[in-house]
Structure 1
């Protein structure tokens, strides 16, 4: 018999209440704003896929399995397929959800149903009856996220070339975003910020101390970190502040570092488009699609491969624990061979 304290609320009602709750936690500082928005977006997507008019307590594990399958095949609007997809509404169809996105969506649902169980919206947590495993959702495996040295050099070289490239005469002056796009890619690859940290950055967060330009990054949990910028990044930043940002500034967001051509603070969802535009300039032989988070992995991987102190890398990325670095470290081709050629006990090999 159903307990009398179970509330017969619809999926739409419960997800709306849950969304308000996590946004309230964000407003009080109990939850990072970026994390709250991810949870909110995922549960609202769940409501759309499950049917907002259905009673939440009536959902079974099979129903959640169906939602997970639907999400796996849902186009990812942030990215495009690398090859044409006939009959998909255009020459470049939207890519499906990555394995990482599917795993994140599943975690969001688990958190939602734990809360629903506590509040009496469901009698039993249907996540316990879910039978699908990642391989059943299409066999997607997480691709190595970090770019190789050649791929990273190609991307950064393309970004630097945009700084001195002649302006496109077909575009209005206030729509020329080459300097801004180059700066975004260089900051992502050199410093490895979270995309939310990048888009929240203000002009005043960049300061000079003893001749070195620093970026004060406001990270998760209210933590801040001051990261010195490499000279190559500093030069592009100063060029953007002196010229590129001035073209985009319409007085609407006087503090924001990164502006859209409409003069608004750049949105998180726009950053992937910036990366893709820079990637289009890379030699196809060294081009590989990458997300903002993939560039964060690239930063960690190459700093660690260069024997940079682990605690310094942790501080650059804004991790609270060294153990987190293990999830950001990818293997690089040839790194073991290179390490053994300069073995500290045997000395460097003869060329």
Structure 2
């Protein structure tokens, strides 16, 4: 569908919001019905799917800022949506496999057109990793770790500083690097692309506080202060754990090359094996981003501060990174702010 519209990308990128791009695209799709190139019923299916994309992505989000990870989150969110046409769908049965495949085709067509029209620099669908099987299979599972699971993972990462030498050469020892990776993901919640792009020079100290200057989507940067414990492990890694090579990358393989984003999951899995089985649950780098957002927000941290830590331009986007915690509502009501202290006479 999209390939028949614009075949030459404009010299300058047009940074449209998701809602603006959707309106333009749907208008184009409906116009094709007048030529007989598309049936009106098919056009309305596309329009409905694009409207769902806007609702899940956030209408004020910039289309070019969406990454493959964002697309994965959108596909998973759609898979979880109740399908009222199916038996039990109103009770959270989720979308059928055919509906999920249709939705993916619809948004793929939009992004293909957006790439040709110059609304996005890179088609994020090419970086999407969620398969049809995962879209169905991941519905019941939480993406964020519970507090106990997250603390177990963080504890295992901290303990890597004390791991014995095990006969390895210094340039083959990756324990401190692995600790830095897990601690940054679990406490700061960067996108995995932001993590592997990080350079040593991006970390600086100001007034006694260690900061990470993160280069995020859309050319935006944010300076995020690191927790003291994380800053200490980072310093130990820079002092004695990172290979002395000219490459400016923060995270290096044992061969001295910049770590690839695909290597990060292996690091997490390696650290997870050190966690007590009762507190262990598999998690992806994006799941650790959800973990950061979930627990910062659950601890009543200012929403705008969390938005700035995660690098979002809009508060509404936080909803996609927020998982419910067991017993959270009960705790919130027990500590109700209007019932603290003595009542007025």
TM-score norm. by structure 1 comes to 0.63
How much does 1:137 deviate?
Answer: 7.3
Q: Which residue of 2 aligns with 1:288?
A: 281
Q: In the alignment, which residue of structure 2 is the partner of 1:264?
A: 257
Match of 1:249 among 219, 244, 264: 244
Q: How does 1:80-229 map to 2 (within 5 A)?
A: 100=76, 106=105, 109-111=108-110, 114=113, 138=136, 140-141=138-139, 143-169=141-167, 171-229=168-226
What RMSD, in angstroms, separates the aligned Cα atoms of the two structures? 3.5
Q: CA deviation at 1:345?
A: 2.1
Residue-by-residue CA offset, 1:160-217 (whole Å, 9 max, x unaligned): 0001221221x33211100000000000011100001000101011000000000000
Residue 332 of structure 2 aligns with which residue?
339
Corresponding residue of 1:128: none
Secondary structure of the residue aligned to 1:217 is strand
Offset, 1:143: 2.5
Any idea what SS the aligned residue of 2:337 has?
A: coil
In structure 2, how many angstroms separate the alpha carbons of the residues matched to 1:149 and 1:137? 25
3-state SS, counterpart of residue 223 of structure 2? strand
Question: In 1, distance between residues paired with 2:135 and 2:147?
Answer: 32
Change in Cα spacing, 1:228 to 1:140, as seen in structure 2 (3 Å) is: closer
Q: Find the counterpart in structure 2 of residue 234 from structure 1.
A: 231
Cα pair 1:250 1:262 within 8 Å, conserved: no
Q: Name the CA distance, whole Å, in 1 between partners of 2:322 and 2:214.
A: 22
Distance verdict in 2 for CA 1:197–1:106, change over 3 Å: farther
The CA distance in 1 between the partners of 2:232 and 2:179, in whole Å, is 11
Q: Deviations over 1:31-76 (max 9, x none)?
A: 99xxxxxxxxxxxxxxxxxxxxxxxxxxxx9xxxxxxxxxxxxxxx
In 1, Cα distance between equivalents of 2:133 and 2:164: 48
C-alpha contact 1:249 1:259 (8 A) present in aligned 2: no
Q: Gapped runs of 5+ residues in structure 1?
A: 8-17, 33-60, 62-96, 119-133
